[in-house]
Structure 1
Amino acid sequence: MASSLSPAPVPMELHVLNREKLLKSIRQHLTDTSRPLNGFVFLQGGDEQTRYCTDHIELFRQESYFAYLFGVIEPGFYGAIDIATGKSILFAPRLPAEYTVWLGEVKPLSYFQEKYKVSMACYTDEIAGVLLDQYKGSGKPLLFLLHGLNTDSNNFSKPAEFEGMEKFETELSTLHPILTECRVLKSDLELALIQFANDISSEAHIEVMRKVRVGMKEYQLESMFLHHTYMYGGCRHCSYTCICATGENSAVLHYGHAAAPNDRTFKDGDMALLDMGAEYNFYASDITCSFPVNGKFTSDQSLIYNAVLEAHNAVIKAMKPGVNWVDMHKLAEKVILESLKKGSVLVGNVDDMMVERLGAVFMPHGLGHLLGIDTHDPGGYPKGTERPKEPGLKSLRTSRDLQQGMVITVEPGCYFIDALLVPAMENAHTSKFFNREVIDRFKDFGGVRIESDVIVTANGCENMTNVPRETSEIEAVMGGASWPLNKK
């Protein structure tokens, strides 16, 4: 299927606005803490990496904070923002003459200055001299370097390093929390890129639905998705490694990694759980669709699928500024537990199940996460906030109250995972809730996840993802119907 979409234009003004947003925030912070409004924000971009000891260069993708501020696609750059004047400076690597033979034209500094809308462009071997020349304060110039914890990965961002750094004072605590908070709320220009990534990814998911046939390999579904997003959307990067799980694999939350490489041959009667999202100009999408590979839901598949869909829809209906994300997770859990009770999978009082954290047995992951330049965008746990410790809730990637301008995924799921079910069915506090005869029917079921990317608006939210969700819609599209269904 050809696409009705074409790659969206990428205005560099987006990154100019991001720099202005940071500058305003850091100036306000310095004023509030009675510190002088001078020095430089200074970041190091990413470098190309080779495959171990070989000369095979892995496909480069820019470091995310640097991408946010400068939009630079090339490796080896540095960037500075003069806090006193607002002047932005890019530092490009000085390339050897033979670069032209092997890798193409050596661009002049004026090219980078114009392309990335910065005040100045210089070479990386000039960093110390240029910054000292620009500085109008007294004493050693202060560099605000990026160093802080990513609460999703538990890794620290790496502060910049360059020759001549001893001529500057450096500060490691101020920049990271301020720049991270800038990334939490998206501008209209950022939203346009996230929407395009959603549009092309939604289209690709539908294309996969239509082409699925019993007997295929999981990696063929991944291939179809990647082809569509690259062919029609210009998306060279995926937001993350595709999860193409079928049958019992759909209960493996992060399936698709090197040790489980989307290589199963799926069978008639399997459910598929496809978690795939394209990245466009650094900005991510993250979409999950679940459906029967033969195109027709069984009663058991409908029961679990609709439990998750009702949770997905209930959360989106309740989302608005001021709503707490932990409460949204609990809402999703409760809706799923109520559906499982209605379907006789569980018995007993749902409120009692919630007290015993039974929802975490069926949905051990968090409800969703912030989305932007990273699939798991930073800012989920600002300094001073604590991660919940209860089962299920401890996996939440944020516990924040929603704010207008946040983009967050809504991805409830229901899985039948022996490693969680067996202990819960043997536990004195939770065993009474299980209808063992019915549970046995779902032993090799796997799981269902439904994931959409949602923008928080002034009075509610908007779903940026556009794929079939109702069972009747999925069956119609898998049977060849156009999407949306009323489209001629």
Structure 2
Amino acid sequence: MFDTSIYKNRRAALRKKIQSGIILLLGNNEAPANYPDNTYVYRQDSTFLYFFGHSLPGLAGVIDVDANKDYFFGDDVTMDDIIWMGPQPSIKELGMQVGVRNSYSLKQLRKMIAEAVSKGRKIHFIPPYRFDHYLMIEELTGIRSSVVRQYASVELIKAIVALRSAKEPCEIEELDKAAHIGYLMHTTAMKMCKPGVKEQLISGALDGIASQYGSMVSFPTILTQHGETMHNHGHEALLEKGKLMLVDAGAESNTNYCSDNTRTIPVGGKYTPRQKEVYELVLACHDLALELAKPGITYQSVHLAVCKRLALGLKDMGLMKGNTDDAVAAGAHALFLPHGLGHMMGLDVHDMENLGQTYVGYDDEVRPSGQFGLASLRMGRKLQEGFVITDEPGCYFIPALIDKWRATGLHKDFLNYDAIDQYKDFGGIRIEDDILITKNGSRFLGTERIPAGVREIEEFMKNN
């Protein structure tokens, strides 16, 4: 947790952005894995964490905009709880730790919301993503769970996005800590990447590092020799010399701030000439994004510049043809890059995505596209100092997609399908780093850089 003043200031700032009514923020409950007492690893709701700080189940917070008061709700532990858990702070003590003087039981929460509803007061809540929250909002407000998302407060969503987008110094410090854990994870993967090693062994080691130095992984680890599959969570194969191992992994600090990095490394420690050529093209795209990203520039424009750099490189390799600008405008390059350049990051690895991506990554000036590839760009709006975003270009050769496009002749004026067919056994390459937008540009998070260049990676793997 941060200093008490941080949470008080955040709630005060939120109150100023909401005209009237009550803001209801629900903390997460524990979720049973296969029976009630055996639960999944607990993770608090990020919005609740941001404003009320506590990473414990069964809590809720209320900010009364009209009365200028904050409330903290939860039930004190029973003697049965103490037997199994030991002594625990009271709800009143927990509330005081985040600057809330008014702390009550969950029964009182139901009474407060019922009274507010009876008086016709506006109840602001964010879109739920857990079914118990759907049911609780229905119980509290009377809104049927089947339609509750339709009543989520857009005013509240926009206010939260405005507050959480630019990171405070205390948050940047935590993100740097998460980046350090990410460094340990990825350099460990490089050390273990040897022929005959099972993917699961490496994946498990990375997950263990995340738990040793922080709270957990920031998302399920992607570790695969089939990098052409964007989110490949299968870890059954043995590593084979000459193949590429793509590792997309990150950690959460103990205060739940995230890291998210990707490296694509050669099994056996050395890239083949063909792998090196594609890898260095992706690295050039990655470095171009880092060079262009700064306050006042839309990330959509950075994404498109990267797409043009990728298309130009593929043209030099004989895989694309024609005018590069026209090819990117038509979306032909998306055969090789079907995802966006990056996303916001903070308390969530895809920061605030539960609030609605159009509110987080876009605004009235920059709107999402419907074009294949560009439609998957999560972050397009104008960058500001304090934003933390990912820079993650890639180049993938997806056999099913290649076959589908070729069968219909899609973008045949820009794609050399005969040459592309020779890469259907290649896999995919992605390089990803987390960057902080600074006053005049950007910087990597963390004090250590995960090896990224071909020579750096080969030397690291040789010596470790």
TM-score by length of 2: 0.87
Q: Is the 8 Å Cα contact of residues 247 and 264 (structure 2) preserved in structure 1? A: yes
1:47 to 15, 21, 29: 29
Superposed counterparts of 1:261-410, under 5 Å: 261-280=234-253, 281-378=255-352, 380-382=357-359, 386-410=367-391
Tell me the SS of whatever aligns to 1:100.
Answer: helix
What residue number does 2:227 align with? 250
Task: Establish whether residue 414 from structure 1 lines up as the match of residue 407 from structure 2.
Answer: no
1:182-236 deviation digits (Å, cap 9, x = unpaired): 22221111111112111211222112212221111111121121222222x2x23
In the alignment, the residues of structure 2 paired with residue 102 and residue 143 of structure 1 have an alpha-carbon distance, to the nearest angstrom, of: 40
Q: Residues 238 and 188 from structure 1, CA distance in 2 versus in 1: closer, same or farther, beyond 3 angstroms?
A: same
**Amino acid of the structure 2 residue aligned with 1:212:** C
Which consecutive residues of structure 1, in runs of 5 or more, have no partner in the other structure? 1-8, 31-36, 482-488
**Amino acid of the structure 2 residue aligned with 1:78:** A
Q: Is the 8 Å Cα contact of residues 380 and 400 (structure 1) preserved in structure 2? A: no
Tell me the SS of whatever aligns to 1:51.
Answer: strand
Task: Establish whether residue 23 from structure 1 lines up as the match of residue 15 from structure 2.
Answer: yes
What residue number does 2:95 align with? 113
Task: Establish whether residue 74 from structure 1 lines up as the match of residue 48 from structure 2.
Answer: no
In the alignment, the residues of structure 1 paired with residue 407 and residue 84 of structure 2 have an alpha-carbon distance, to the nearest angstrom, of: 64
Q: Is the 8 Å Cα contact of residues 358 and 430 (structure 1) preserved in structure 2? A: yes
What residue number does 2:147 align with? none
In the alignment, the residues of structure 2 paired with residue 116 and residue 462 of structure 1 have an alpha-carbon distance, to the nearest angstrom, of: 32
Q: Is the 8 Å Cα contact of residues 366 and 397 (structure 1) preserved in structure 2? A: yes
Q: Residues 295 and 16 from structure 1, CA distance in 2 versus in 1: closer, same or farther, beyond 3 angstroms?
A: farther
Task: Establish whether residue 140 from structure 1 lines up as the match of residue 140 from structure 2.
Answer: no
Tell me the SS of whatever aligns to 1:223.
Answer: helix
Determine which structure has the larger helix proportion and give its number: 2
Which shifted more, 409-418 or 315-324? Answer: 315-324
Report deviation, 1:74. 0.8
In the alignment, the residues of structure 1 paired with residue 246 and residue 388 of structure 2 have an alpha-carbon distance, to the nearest angstrom, of: 23
In the alignment, the residues of structure 1 paired with residue 427 and residue 403 of structure 2 have an alpha-carbon distance, to the nearest angstrom, of: 15
**Amino acid of the structure 1 residue aligned with 2:457:** I
Tell me the SS of whatever aligns to 1:283.
Answer: coil
Task: Establish whether residue 469 from structure 1 lines up as the match of residue 452 from structure 2.
Answer: yes
Aligned length: 446
Report deviation, 1:346. 3.0
**Amino acid of the structure 2 residue aligned with 1:255:** N
What residue number does 1:486 align with? none
Q: Residues 332 and 163 from structure 1, CA distance in 2 versus in 1: closer, same or farther, beyond 3 angstroms?
A: closer
Q: Is the 8 Å Cα contact of residues 197 and 239 (structure 2) preserved in structure 1? A: yes
In the alignment, the residues of structure 1 paired with residue 329 and residue 461 of structure 2 have an alpha-carbon distance, to the nearest angstrom, of: 40
Report deviation, 1:23. 2.2
In the alignment, the residues of structure 2 paired with residue 191 and residue 22 of structure 1 have an alpha-carbon distance, to the nearest angstrom, of: 20
What residue number does 2:440 align with? 459
Tell me the SS of whatever aligns to 1:273.
Answer: strand
Q: Is the 8 Å Cα contact of residues 92 and 104 (structure 2) preserved in structure 1? A: no
Report deviation, 1:447. 0.2
Tell me the SS of whatever aligns to 1:142.
Answer: coil
Q: Is the 8 Å Cα contact of residues 41 and 83 (structure 1) preserved in structure 2? A: yes
Q: Is the 8 Å Cα contact of residues 94 and 124 (structure 1) preserved in structure 2? A: no
**Amino acid of the structure 1 residue aligned with 2:265:** F
**Amino acid of the structure 1 residue aligned with 2:237:** R
Tell me the SS of whatever aligns to 2:239.
Answer: coil
Q: Is the 8 Å Cα contact of residues 44 and 160 (structure 1) preserved in structure 2? A: no
What residue number does 1:57 align with? 39
Q: Residues 394 and 157 from structure 1, CA distance in 2 versus in 1: closer, same or farther, beyond 3 angstroms?
A: farther
Which consecutive residues of structure 2, in runs of 5 or more, have no partner in the other structure? 143-150
TM-score by length of 1: 0.83
Q: Is the 8 Å Cα contact of residues 14 and 190 (structure 1) preserved in structure 2? A: no
Q: Residues 305 and 149 from structure 1, CA distance in 2 versus in 1: closer, same or farther, beyond 3 angstroms?
A: farther
In angstroms, what is the RMSD of aligned CA positions?
3.0
Q: Residues 132 and 388 from structure 1, CA distance in 2 versus in 1: closer, same or farther, beyond 3 angstroms?
A: closer
